[in-house]
């Protein structure tokens, strides 16, 4: 049964008959624990379709367990053990959605949203009778959003949260700090927002989220069962910190000319400096309370160019200990596996380049001579990160560059001439282009080198970096229609996704995107509805 739903349900079956959903329908007397879920569903249907559900009949909700689907692998970003398994049944007399938790029922209603959007004509959605029993393969399913190189304000972040919710993604990982800026308040360190937040990449305007703005974003996400995880990138990617507090910078900073008017500093925080740790503690004490739903703090740990292996390991170990001492768990980019990590730590795998098959002689001609050996050295070390992480008992969060870095250029042509111009401009050419089909042509276990079993993987997280992204339209154009593919890989229990079947489901999604005024690449490889 090929339903126009993404991610694909674990189990579905068709039966005779149908039920027509229209303006006179709604949710019949939901249990008190589900009142908020019911209200959210009605509001989302209106935004997706324009259909206002004003009645109190037709759709019934229930808190009942679902045991026909395996439990999810991995850990959740909120640290809980929430069961997301749910059922959805459509018969001639109405629709029933059930699950053992409010979040499970929300996931079932999300499938119903997509069905209504796909079948709506002249104000009525005639839904074919059938039954879905569903639940996720992985507990952690998310998106890492770079708000540093281009600052995306609260309104745009809310739009991204809405996208995550529509595809049952449950984590927004905010990359809040980097060389180009600092985007979160630390009251004891005012220069971080007074100085370090002022700019972004290529003279783009900077900005930061006030404490009240972050509180609203975190609450908005929580209402949609999305956990916001903060990342404070260290010990590398800290040029903005040194701009605000020069006393934390190394005495000598090596700079690599990138040949395009920009430069990259090979400078890192110093683990032997007492002031470094006073700063890190101030930051953690200010930021952790702003993300109360997150059980994790992301400590970065990547690309610590110019830092000795010993200093890098010492920094990671002490920073991780400070996070744990504050009652939080540690997640970091894969390089943290080069330190002595804890079995409860999560290692985010991203460098999936096969160095043995890499032809460095064919590297981009505009790549600076000084940069290539640094990159090659990093890739040589990266080959050992996953084995080290697994040997330490830690687990992997899958974010492989090949399939889940959404700053790759779009390979698919678009039917929109204006988008075709943007397509040529957007994305890092160094990675090479990727098609929409590429995004679903892999498996989070079978495709990751060094991973042998599903128990070693906690989940899937796409990443969008904003070097080439200037506007919110650019951002959405690079996210859609890729984001549903990431959701498919994180949720679906099928290890192989058929492109023809998937693209047919994807084609129906454009109707909600159009109503939501989201920007998406109108790929000529998909027969959009």
Instruction: Give the span between the Cα atoms of 112 and 272, in whole angstroms.
Output: 56
Find the farthest-apart pair of alpha carbons in the chain and give their distance in angstroms, rounded.
75
- Catalytic annotation present for 303: yes
Q: How many CB atoms lie under 10 A from the CB of residue 63?
A: 15
The CATH architecture one would assign to domain 140-498 is Alpha-Beta Barrel (3.20)
Q: What angle is formed at CA 207 by the lines to CA 202 and CA 210, rounded to 5 degrees? A: 160
- Nearest to 267, CA basis, from 288, 282, 299, 245: 245
Instruction: Give the span between the Cα atoms of 189 and 247, in whole angstroms.
Output: 13
Q: What is the 3-state secondary structure (H, E, C) of 443-486?
A: CCCCCCCCCCCHHHEEEEEEEECCCCCCCHHHHHHHHCCHHHHH
pLDDT at 513: 98
The structural domains of the chain, with segments of one domain joined by +, span 11-134, 140-498
Q: What angle is formed at CA 354 by the lines to CA 351 and CA 356, rounded to 5 degrees? A: 140
pLDDT at 1: 66
Strands (E), 273-398: 296-300, 329-333, 346-349, 395-398
Choice among 103, 185, 303, 488 that is catalytic: 303
> In terms of C-beta density within 10 A (0-12 exposed, 13-18 middle, 19 or more buried), how is residue 447 classed?
middle
Instruction: Give the span between the Cα atoms of 384 and 449, in whole angstroms.
Output: 10
pLDDT at 266: 78
pLDDT at 267: 85
pLDDT at 397: 98
What's the topology of domain 11-134?
Chitobiase; domain 2 (3.30.379)
Instruction: Give the span between the Cα atoms of 297 and 326, in whole angstroms.
Output: 10
Instruction: Give the span between the Cα atoms of 262 and 234, in whole angstroms.
Output: 21
Tens digits of pLDDT across the chain (529 residues): 689 999 999 999 999 999 999 999 999 989 999 999 999 999 999 999 999 999 999 999 999 999 999 999 999 999 999 999 999 999 999 999 999 999 999 999 999 999 999 999 999 999 999 999 999 999 999 999 999 999 999 999 999 999 999 999 999 999 999 999 999 999 999 999 999 999 999 999 999 999 999 999 999 999 999 999 999 999 999 999 999 999 999 987 777 776 555 667 778 999 999 999 999 999 999 999 999 999 999 999 999 988 999 999 999 999 999 999 999 999 999 999 999 999 999 999 999 876 554 444 444 555 566 777 777 788 889 999 999 999 999 999 999 999 999 999 999 999 999 999 999 999 998 888 999 999 999 999 999 999 999 999 999 999 999 999 999 999 999 999 999 999 999 999 999 999 999 999 999 999 999 999 999 999 999 999 9
Name residue 173's beta-bridge partners: 144, 229
Instruction: Give the span between the Cα atoms of 130 and 119, in whole angstroms.
Output: 14
First to last CA, the chain: 19
Per-position DSSP letters for 119-154, written without gaps between them: HEETTEEEEEEEEEEE--SBSEEEEEEE-SSS---H
Angle between helical axes of 102-119 and 35-49 (0-180°, round to 10)? 20
């Amino acid at each position: 049964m090929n339903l126009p739903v993404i991610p694909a349900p674990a189990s579905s079956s068709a039966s005779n008959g149908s039920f027509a959903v229209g303006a006179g329908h709604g949710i019949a007397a939901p249990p008190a624990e589900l009142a908020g879920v019911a209200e959210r569903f009605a509001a989302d249907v209106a935004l997706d379709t324009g259909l206002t559900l004003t009645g109190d009949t037709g759709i019934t909700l229930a808190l009942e367990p679902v045991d026909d689907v395996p439990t999810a692998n991995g850990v959740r970003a909120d640290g809980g053990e929430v069961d997301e398994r749910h059922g959805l049944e459509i018969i001639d007399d109405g629709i029933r959605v059930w699950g053992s938790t409010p979040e499970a029922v929300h996931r079932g209603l999300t499938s119903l949203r997509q069905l209504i959007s796909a079948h709506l004509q002249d104000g009525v959605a005639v839904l074919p009778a059938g039954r879905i029993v569903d639940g996720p393969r992985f507990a952690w399913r998310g998106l890492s959003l770079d708000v540093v190189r281009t600052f995306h304000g609260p309104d745009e972040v809310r739009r991204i949260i809405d996208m995550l919710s529509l595809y049952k993604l449950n984590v927004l990982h905010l990359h809040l700090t980097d060389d180009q800026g600092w985007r979160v308040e630390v009251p004891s360190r005012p220069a971080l927002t007074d100085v370090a937040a002022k700019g972004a990449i290529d003279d783009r305007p900077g900005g930061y989220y006030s404490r009240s703005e972050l509180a609203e974003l975190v609450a908005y996400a929580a209402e949609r069962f999305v956990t916001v995880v903060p990342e404070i990138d260290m010990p590398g990617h800290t040029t903005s910190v040194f701009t605000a507090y020069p006393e934390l910078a190394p005495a000598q900073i090596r700079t690599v000319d990138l040949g395009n008017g920009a430069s990259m500093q090979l400078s890192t925080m110093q683990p032997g400096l007492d002031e470094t740790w006073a700063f890190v503690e101030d930051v953690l004490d200010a930021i952790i309370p702003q993300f109360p739903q997150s059980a994790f703090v992301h400590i970065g740990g990547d690309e610590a160019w110019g830092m000795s292996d010993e200093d890098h390991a010492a920094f990671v170990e002490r920073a991780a200990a400070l996070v744990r001492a504050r009652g939080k768990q540690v997640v970091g980019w894969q390089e943290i596996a080069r330190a002595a990590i804890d079995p409860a730590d999560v290692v985010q795998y991203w460098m999936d380049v096969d160095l043995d098959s890499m032809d460095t002689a064919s590297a981009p001609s505009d790549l600076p001579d000084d940069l290539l050996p640094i990159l090659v050295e990093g890739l040589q070390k990266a080959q050992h990160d996953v084995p080290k992480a697994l040997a330490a008992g830690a687990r992997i969060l899958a974010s492989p560059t090949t399939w889940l870095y959404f700053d790759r250029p779009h390979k698919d042509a678009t039917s929109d001439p204006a988008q075709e111009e943007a397509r040529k401009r957007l994305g890092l050419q160094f990675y090479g282009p990727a098609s929409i089909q590429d995004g679903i042509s892999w498996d989070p276990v079978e495709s990751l080198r060094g991973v042998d079993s599903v128990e070693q993987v906690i989940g899937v997280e796409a990443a969008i970096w904003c070097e080439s992204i200037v506007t919110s339209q650019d951002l959405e154009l690079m996210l859609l229609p890729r984001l549903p593919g990431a959701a498919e890989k994180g949720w679906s229990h099928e290890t192989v996704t058929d492109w023809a079947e998937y693209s047919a489901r994807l084609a129906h999604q454009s109707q909600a995107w159009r109503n939501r005024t989201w920007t998406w690449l109108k790929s000529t490889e998909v027969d959009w509805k």
